[in-house]
Chain A
Amino acid sequence: MVLAVQSRNDDASARQTGSERPVLASITKLQKRYASRDGGEIVALSEVSLNIYEGEFLSVVGPSGCGKSTLLHIMAGVLERSSGELLLRGQPIDGPRREVGIVFQEPLLLPWRTVLDNVLLPIEVHKLPIEQFRPRALELLELTGLSAFAQKYPQELSGGMQQRVSIARALVHNPTIILMDEPFGALDAMTREQMNLDLMKIWAGSGKTILLITHSISEAVLLGDRVVVMSPRPGRISEVIDIDLPRPRGLNITATPAFGAYAERVRDLLFARTSD
């Protein structure tokens, strides 16, 4: 079940404090400004600085308009920044990069391709040898519980299953970092919890770094090694909270006082900022 990558983060205790690990990506004074219609300026991101560490699960939570999606799109290289610096392993990100995998809010599968061929799409686009990656694609489908559906078409799958396919697609070309833009926002609550557990399972031991954008406080705390809390107008980071909860985490952890305390702190930060 372990993905075909180096599993250097097997030691669960090393997970707990991200700062002990090497920096994968560094964001320094990142700004994104738009010209507004009345000639003024909208600051979507204001001087955002953040280090992302190798192999960590980083949750980003914030209200609408806090720029969290903008941040993700800039990191994905599909949106230009106005100023600031963005480095991935010391290399500036100025466009889409192969080391990055993306999961969007919608599965965005291609309906005329089978599930397997959808997963292999990045391989084709990056002109990598398909035959070489087919076993990996099948392994990812097994990991996401979709082995039986490899030859089905996306429209034969439920919404949750389609989103699993898109997660497998984001992982197939073995990216270092996976950016997830509210991937479970369109799913019902129960499917969403199942997806959270599955995502942790996929991530555990994969050595991948995940940046997850979410609206959900409990999702952010349950999944994250750290939770970045953002606030709007202008979009900025209000605080980064280390989540010192043992792994592997199950849904029962959400009932513990420690989890409740973290969730409360995130909530306080969110409401302190939005009420003014």
Chain B
Amino acid sequence: MASDLATPTVAKPASRSRRASSWLTDAVLLPLSFVVLLALWEIAVRVFNVPIFIVPAPSSVVASLWSMASSGLLLSQFLVTFTEAAAGFAIALVVAAVFAVIMTEWQRAERLLYPYFTALQSMPKVAIAPLIVIWFGYGLPSKIVVAALLSFFPMLVSFTEGLKATDEGRLKLMRAMSASRLQTLRYVRVPYALPFVFAGIELGGLYAMLGAIVAEFVGASAGVGNWLIAMNVNLDTSSTFALLVVLALYGIVFQKIISMARTRALFWARPGSPSAPANKP
């Protein structure tokens, strides 16, 4: 019977060579293509004499980034927006988790609540951001509310889907052990929901940042969104680009952290199953 365990080793050489080729793509080809792209951009801007307020050259973007960072303004403004997004995200996470549990434990609750959530979702929340600024003021609270609103729905949907993902057999097993609802939730439903939970958190985190920035567009005295508007007014396109680079980097780092946490938490998910950690990009 132990021989059954040996079968996976057969597949090893093939996967090793595939890993080697994906390493080549990740570590060599991707950075190389990026450098080439930047060089072409720089050359094009210089050759065609593109005005700096239309499209800045990569070199001037880097210069703006440097001056923003060295003044300390970049960090302080970024932290304002990040705090708003994080607070909104945390609220949305808790509320989504609570409603997901309620809606999966009681079918009537789902039938009763889901139409409201769908209605809320079909409303473009960016459009109600000005209203929220009126209600909650120019400060932190309005940004947190918009961030929470934007990140709530994707998390609610994936959490609900995840809590429904446990197979009937394991639920029967729990019933046969006369497990309580709470035990079934804890021992089976929540762990089986984890792959969906991570997908929801990834989306929710990005939406929370988007929400905070949009709310700052509408009215704020600090933060990345506020800054972007100011730069746009001054036609400081180079600094705008620099901020966009920072936001993109933030998104990448955030996704990387989530993906690492997912790999750790979902060590048990079989490769090839929908719950398995996604292949490396």
A complexed with B: yes
B170 at the interface (CB under 8 A from A): yes
With A158-B1, A158-B5 already in contact, the answer to whether A112 and B191 are too (CB < 8 A) is: yes
B23 at the interface (CB under 8 A from A): no
Question: Does A125 contact B5, Cβ atoms closer than 8 Å?
Answer: no
Question: Does A76 contact B176, Cβ atoms closer than 8 Å?
Answer: yes
With A108-B170, A125-B174 already in contact, the answer to whether A155 and B183 are too (CB < 8 A) is: no
Interface centre among B1, B4, B170, B179 (most CB of A within 10 A): B1
Number of A-B contacts (CB under 8 A): 62
Task: Specify which of B170, B172, B177 is in contact with A126 (CB 8 Å cutoff).
Answer: B177
B230 at the interface (CB under 8 A from A): no
Identity of the chain A residue whose Cβ is nearest the Cβ of B188 in the assembled complex = A110
- In chain A, residues 67-117, which have Cβ atoms closer than 8 Å to a Cβ of chain B? 76-78, 95-98, 100, 102, 104, 106, 108, 110-112
How far is the CB of B52 from the nearest CB of chain A, in Å?
A: 55
Question: Does A153 contact B268, Cβ atoms closer than 8 Å?
Answer: yes
- In chain A, residues 130-159, which have Cβ atoms closer than 8 Å to a Cβ of chain B? 145, 153, 155-158
Question: Does B268 contact A125, Cβ atoms closer than 8 Å?
Answer: no
With A110-B188, A111-B269, A153-B268 already in contact, the answer to whether A160 and B172 are too (CB < 8 A) is: no
How far is the CB of B172 from the nearest CB of chain A, in Å?
A: 6
**Once bound together, how far apart are the Cα atoms of A103 and B170, in whole Å?**
12
B175 at the interface (CB under 8 A from A): yes
B15 at the interface (CB under 8 A from A): no
> What B residues does A6 contact at CB under 8 A?
none
Task: Specify which of A97, A106, A125 is in contact with B179 (CB 8 Å cutoff).
Answer: A125
Task: Specify which of B1, B183, B188 is in contact with A161 (CB 8 Å cutoff).
Answer: B1
Identity of the chain A residue whose Cβ is nearest the Cβ of B194 in the assembled complex = A112
**Once bound together, how far apart are the Cα atoms of A111 and B195, in whole Å?**
13
**Once bound together, how far apart are the Cα atoms of A124 and B170, in whole Å?**
16
How far is the CB of A104 from the nearest CB of chain B, in Å?
A: 6
Question: Does A110 contact B187, Cβ atoms closer than 8 Å?
Answer: yes
> What A residues does B188 contact at CB under 8 A?
110
Identity of the chain A residue whose Cβ is nearest the Cβ of B266 in the assembled complex = A112
- In chain B, residues 173-206, which have Cβ atoms closer than 8 Å to a Cβ of chain A? 173-179, 183, 187-188, 191
**Once bound together, how far apart are the Cα atoms of A76 and B191, in whole Å?**
25
> What A residues does B183 contact at CB under 8 A?
125
With A96-B175, A104-B172 already in contact, the answer to whether A191 and B1 are too (CB < 8 A) is: yes
> What A residues does B170 contact at CB under 8 A?
108, 110
Question: Does A98 contact B178, Cβ atoms closer than 8 Å?
Answer: yes
> What A residues does B177 contact at CB under 8 A?
96, 121-122, 125-126
Question: Does A77 contact B176, Cβ atoms closer than 8 Å?
Answer: yes
How far is the CB of B100 from the nearest CB of chain A, in Å?
A: 20
Task: Specify which of A102, A112, A153, A160 is in contact with B173 (CB 8 Å cutoff).
Answer: A102
> What B residues does A155 contact at CB under 8 A?
268, 270
> What B residues does A78 contact at CB under 8 A?
172, 175-176
Identity of the chain B residue whose Cβ is nearest the Cβ of A179 in the assembled complex = B176
> What B residues does A126 contact at CB under 8 A?
177-178
How far is the CB of A101 from the nearest CB of chain B, in Å?
A: 9
B115 at the interface (CB under 8 A from A): no
> What B residues does A125 contact at CB under 8 A?
174, 177-179, 183, 187
Question: Does A102 contact B178, Cβ atoms closer than 8 Å?
Answer: no
B274 at the interface (CB under 8 A from A): no
**Once bound together, how far apart are the Cα atoms of A158 and B2, in whole Å?**
8
How far is the CB of A177 from the nearest CB of chain B, in Å?
A: 13
Identity of the chain A residue whose Cβ is nearest the Cβ of B170 in the assembled complex = A108
With A121-B187, A191-B1 already in contact, the answer to whether A108 and B175 are too (CB < 8 A) is: no
> What B residues does A111 contact at CB under 8 A?
268-270
Question: Does A156 contact B5, Cβ atoms closer than 8 Å?
Answer: yes
**Once bound together, how far apart are the Cα atoms of A153 and B191, in whole Å?**
15
> What B residues does A102 contact at CB under 8 A?
173, 176
With A158-B1, A191-B1 already in contact, the answer to whether A112 and B268 are too (CB < 8 A) is: yes
Identity of the chain B residue whose Cβ is nearest the Cβ of A164 in the assembled complex = B1
How far is the CB of A116 from the nearest CB of chain B, in Å?
A: 15
B169 at the interface (CB under 8 A from A): yes
The residues of A with any CB-CB pair to B shorter than 8 Å are 76-78, 95-98, 100, 102, 104, 106, 108, 110-112, 121-122, 124-126, 145, 153, 155-158, 160-161, 191, 194
- Other A-B pairs beyond A100-B176, A158-B5, A191-B1, 8, CB < 8 Å: A77-B178, A78-B176, A102-B173, A111-B270, A122-B177, A125-B179, A125-B187, A161-B1
19 A-B contacts (beta carbon < 8 Å): A76-B176, A77-B178, A96-B177, A96-B178, A97-B178, A104-B169, A104-B173, A108-B173, A110-B191, A111-B269, A125-B183, A125-B187, A126-B178, A155-B268, A158-B4, A160-B4, A161-B1, A191-B1, A194-B1
